[in-house]
Structure 1
């Protein structure tokens, strides 16, 4: 039976269950192609709402169902607008005819036997090969999860002494920064990781001194970097220099995929009082990026607002990564570690 699926929004491609469902049908199609030597074209993704160029996952873009009846519109518009009623009926008739023909012509066999949906891999979250960890040893990739690196650019309690008077939100390490204290006293990085994992991401947390290393790792393996920025950290010359250099390189090399989140808790009176000056310095540091409303989120007043903003920027970053990221292909079968030898003539 052909698998027809509507693609509603880019968030569809972040869904593990959707990717698992697609994978199960793709396995069946692959088995048929191998046995019969034919492309049955029974996977038919439909464009339900308009998507900007490059925002559709490549696995769907390659086989996107098209019809002259759609023209420049999408299925939802065709269905809802009265002037398209005749075209919509013709489109449904055309699609139904193709489904029936495909089902009768290409009896697709059962694919890989999975005990349940949860055990199937997600075609949208392809497992990554083993990568080198920051201490030089190898680690296995995180199952099917995309990885996000949260890099914290914040003061410590000791460094805050030279910058501001209220140090209640800081700890011994930058990653201990808890900007929504006392309402939410836990570190922001921990909260961000929990939100990311609820969205099916694996997460890593690092301090600013590790930014270059994490960015390189993310670039090589199609992972995401999110900067959690304490506006007071920009008062430190070293932090300002590192962030400025990183932003300049990110803007220069490709379409930015790094997200920047800058809290401003309403309970932090000192930050509120100096916000204008500090936020302007952030915009100077993140020149270019600060104009990107999708990835640059400043003045986040509460942890609830942060909880809404983070999934949104992760979605944008993933969509951009699909367009500008690297393609990694594993060789088929086992790879021999023996040195190749040439026989003498």
Structure 2
């Protein structure tokens, strides 16, 4: 493939010598996470702690896609051989990681080798070493990933809550950061030195592996994500609700720690843009059904950001209720709620019961990680992850079932007139 690689792919391996017959570890991470030098620094720091033997330095030879796979090299073959023969896999968990097709393939392929070893020996090798690069809500993780232990109290509270990238940005020389690196190195060394996983080095094609992460199949999508907001304003407050959460316009509504910036709508737009898509912002009105139907015809994703309080009042309740009665597979609903929002907490049973009656059909699939298009009580911490994930899921549906636009029959159109 002439050195071209998929957007989610990035690889670094450390070998046991020579031609990298059995890489000591394989570092699996999303390309989006490598936009700064932090991934490379962690990789180098991990090598420092491992103190692997080798020629020319105290390290064993390193395999990197940018250095070991030259222009014109078969990157897929090299990647397949590395995943199929490495002793351990270090996976940098992040929102981008779980949206990457090839990270999902790498993870699934290595997990299969671990399962085969366990079946043959009845011994669990713990050779898959997860690292919290950036926090990911547990309910967003695939079931296969949840089965792998990735949180250890010895690594420190800051790491568990904010991830390794946060520690590096705060102080890459801190004791807390190096404590985490040493813990990771200990797990890598133990697994690599004590277990010999079955090798698939010469008979393995990673492209044929079905990864367990969501896969972006957006070829049929227009790349346009329409965001609709249903929220009150300072001049039109929902009965019983504090004014601190609202602004002069519906899109200035902020359910998280007011007066935090950006607002929920603008925060969603930032995520969509970071994913490489176009976005527009609208307010829910009586034309919502027509607009959602139009979006489906144009292969566009729609996201409804709904304030639970404002869903009770005019002009939002009727169009939202109409939406619930129809079939819109490429539309998602997020209902944010701040953790310390006492007015909207679980004790306010009437609020959530009213919302349940409004979204009777969609309520049945609420907070379903396998069908992530209707989420209630979305916390500030998981908001960005969910927006990115539902965009991926709905675009997958468009790719599978969207309207294919074909050119009219006949030859090419004549050239445009010009001066």
TM-score by length of 1: 0.56
Contact 1:149/1:214 (<8 A) preserved: no
Q: Which residue of 2 aligns with 1:198?
A: 274
Deviation at 1:230, TM superposition (A): 0.4
Contact 2:356/2:363 (<8 A) preserved: yes
The secondary structure found in structure 1 opposite 2:245 is: coil
Match of 1:211 among 288, 293, 296: 288
Cα 1:290/1:165, change in 2 over 3 Å: closer
Query: 2:332 aligned with 1:259, yes or no?
Result: yes
Q: What pairs with 1:15-26 in structure 2 (closer than 5 Å)?
A: none
Query: 2:316 aligned with 1:243, yes or no?
Result: no
Match of 1:299 among 377, 383, 389: 377
Counterpart CA distance in 1 for 2:414 and 2:31 is 37
Query: 2:251 aligned with 1:175, yes or no?
Result: yes
Deviation at 1:5, TM superposition (A): 7.6
Query: 2:343 aligned with 1:270, yes or no?
Result: yes
Contact 2:228/2:305 (<8 A) preserved: yes
Cα 1:124/1:319, change in 2 over 3 Å: closer
Counterpart CA distance in 1 for 2:218 and 2:346 is 44
Cα 1:202/1:153, change in 2 over 3 Å: same
Q: Which runs of 5+ in 2 are unaligned?
A: 10-29, 33-71, 84-100, 102-107, 122-197, 206-215
Contact 1:163/1:235 (<8 A) preserved: no
Q: Which residue of 2 aligns with 1:163?
A: 239
Counterpart CA distance in 2 for 1:244 and 1:84 is 55
Contact 2:241/2:309 (<8 A) preserved: no
The secondary structure found in structure 2 opposite 1:204 is: strand
Cα 1:165/1:125, change in 2 over 3 Å: closer
Tell me the matched-pair count. Answer: 242
Deviation at 1:333, TM superposition (A): 9.2
Contact 1:234/1:240 (<8 A) preserved: yes
Contact 1:196/1:203 (<8 A) preserved: yes
Q: What pairs with 1:6-45 in structure 2 (closer than 5 Å)?
A: none
Deviation per CA, 1:236-277, whole angstroms, max 9, x where unpaired? 1542221111121126xxxx3321111112344333386322
Q: Which residue of 2 aligns with 1:188?
A: 264
Counterpart CA distance in 2 for 1:222 and 1:127 is 7
Q: Which runs of 5+ in 1 are unaligned?
A: 17-27, 29-42, 49-59, 61-73, 97-122, 129-140, 339-345
Match of 1:227 among 295, 301, 304: 304
Contact 2:334/2:375 (<8 A) preserved: yes
Cα 1:207/1:79, change in 2 over 3 Å: same
Contact 2:331/2:373 (<8 A) preserved: yes
Match of 2:357 among 280, 284, 288: 284
Q: What pairs with 1:308-327 in structure 2 (closer than 5 Å)?
A: 308-327=385-404
Counterpart CA distance in 1 for 2:333 and 2:376 is 8
Deviation at 1:173, TM superposition (A): 2.3
